[in-house]
Structure 1
Amino acid sequence: MSRQGKLVIFSAPSGAGKTTIVRHLLSKRPDLEFSISATTRQPRGEEKDGVDYYFISKEEFLHRIAKKQFVEFEEVYSGTFYGTLRSEIQRIWDQGKDVIFDIDVEGGLHLKRKYEEHALAIFVQPPSLLVLIERLTGRGTDSPEKLEERFAKARKELDYAPQFDIILNNYELETACKEAELLVDDFLKR
């Protein structure tokens, strides 16, 4: 019989610090395992298939949607899909671990609705939209057009914050990481 574990979901607009917080938690908690998302986009920088993402073709992604292999998915940017494979969650639960997600806002809410009390959905709130724009621009990984697309998406995503279980303010990273540790610890003890 398959084990039903818990899900810890971190969502935020791109640049809010959710990836850094998730990496911090993974370094502190061996009982958590990162859920690797599938995507149709190309790898960036040093990203590796099966580590950062499962990089698959758009055709393969659509085929898997048709076979209902995704717990959640969406076309995040025009022509670029992201999603969570059912098999990925089960793989982690079968190891006796709980799943931690670094996922976009709509994907996070889909997971929360699907798993309800088995999931803790945390929205990472950046200090301001201006700080978010500075962080995204400072990365130097996106074209001006892609940055505009990210800014527009971020504005929209900030409105979703109240739908999450908890809003974690990331005004100062070290404090946010400590708060995240306490929140996750409390949830996993329940």
Structure 2
Amino acid sequence: MSSPAPDAGPGPSRLVVLAGPTAVGKGTVAGRMREANPDVWISVSATTRAPRPDEVDGVHYWFVSDDEFDRMVAEDELLEWAVVHGAARYGTPRAPVEEALAEGRPAMLEIDLQGARQVRETMPGALFVFLAPPSFEELERRLVGRGTETAEERARRLDTAHEELAAESEFDVTIVNREVTAAVDELVALLKSGS
């Protein structure tokens, strides 16, 4: 008579990757998700850009120097990384993602399109969610309303947004961000269903 196998705890969970165009509200949705659902693990990206006035290091991003980012790339510490809007570099530290998944926690990356494409190569079993604006005009209104970019940066981001919107078909699911709470609710349902 064999004894029952010991309980190994929860199995690895499925990663959800949230991406979409600039100013669509990815950070706002992720922040609201973090507040309302502390059981959901959300990756914090590293970036070489300077913090905006309301951003906290280690909460919104890990703000690192170009030299530190180079070291992280060289030592394969990033799951994905890219130059975004022709300026700063952003990347997802690998170890915290692998740890959260191994613990069986609902886990999410909030990243840009380039990063999502890299993650698809390395983790094809992830669920890829595209956060879309209700319209391009609304996207432009949100970008201008932030007031955090110069006119030149806004123009560059809007050019990038046209390309990013064209990539929607590469994703498994689309959530239209008409209202943050509703978008978060849809995302939570996806995360907790594991599909």
Question: What's the TM-score once normalised by structure 2's chain length?
Answer: 0.85
Per-residue deviation, 1:22: 2.2
Per-residue deviation, 1:55: 1.0
Determine whether 1:144 maps to 2:151.
yes
Per-residue deviation, 1:39: 0.6
Measure, in 2, the Cα distance between the counterparts of 1:121 and 1:104.
12
Measure, in 2, the Cα distance between the counterparts of 1:175 and 1:156.
26
Per-residue deviation, 1:13: 0.8
Measure, in 2, the Cα distance between the counterparts of 1:70 and 1:175.
31
Q: Which moved more, 1:9-18 or 1:165-174?
A: 165-174
Per-residue deviation, 1:23: 2.6
8 Å Cα contact 1:9-1:100 kept in structure 2: yes
Unaligned ranges ≥5, structure 2: 1-10
8 Å Cα contact 1:112-1:120 kept in structure 2: no
- Per the alignment, residue 159 of structure 1 pairs with 166
Per-residue deviation, 1:116: 1.8
- From 22, 26, 45, give the equivalent of 2:34: 26
| Per-residue deviation, residues 108-155 of structure 1 (Å, max 9, x unmatched) | 2322332122x1110011011111011100111110001011101111
8 Å Cα contact 2:16-2:127 kept in structure 1: yes
SS in 2 for 1:83: strand
- From 34, 44, 52, give the equivalent of 1:44: 52
Determine whether 1:182 maps to 2:151.
no
8 Å Cα contact 1:9-1:103 kept in structure 2: yes
- From 113, 117, 120, give the equivalent of 1:109: 117
Q: How many residues align?
A: 185
SS in 1 for 2:123: helix
8 Å Cα contact 1:109-1:121 kept in structure 2: no
SS in 1 for 2:55: coil
8 Å Cα contact 1:109-1:164 kept in structure 2: no
Larger Rg: 2
- Per the alignment, residue 83 of structure 2 pairs with 75
| Identity %, equivalent residues | 33
Measure, in 2, the Cα distance between the counterparts of 1:146 and 1:157.
16
8 Å Cα contact 2:106-2:191 kept in structure 1: no
What amino acid is aligned across from residue 20 of structure 1 in structure 2? T
8 Å Cα contact 2:106-2:192 kept in structure 1: no
Measure, in 2, the Cα distance between the counterparts of 1:172 and 1:42.
28
Per-residue deviation, 1:48: 1.7
TM-aligned CA distance change 1:173 to 1:48, over 3 Å: closer
TM-aligned CA distance change 1:97 to 1:151, over 3 Å: same
Higher helix share: 1
What amino acid is aligned across from residue 182 of structure 1 in structure 2? A
8 Å Cα contact 1:18-1:102 kept in structure 2: yes
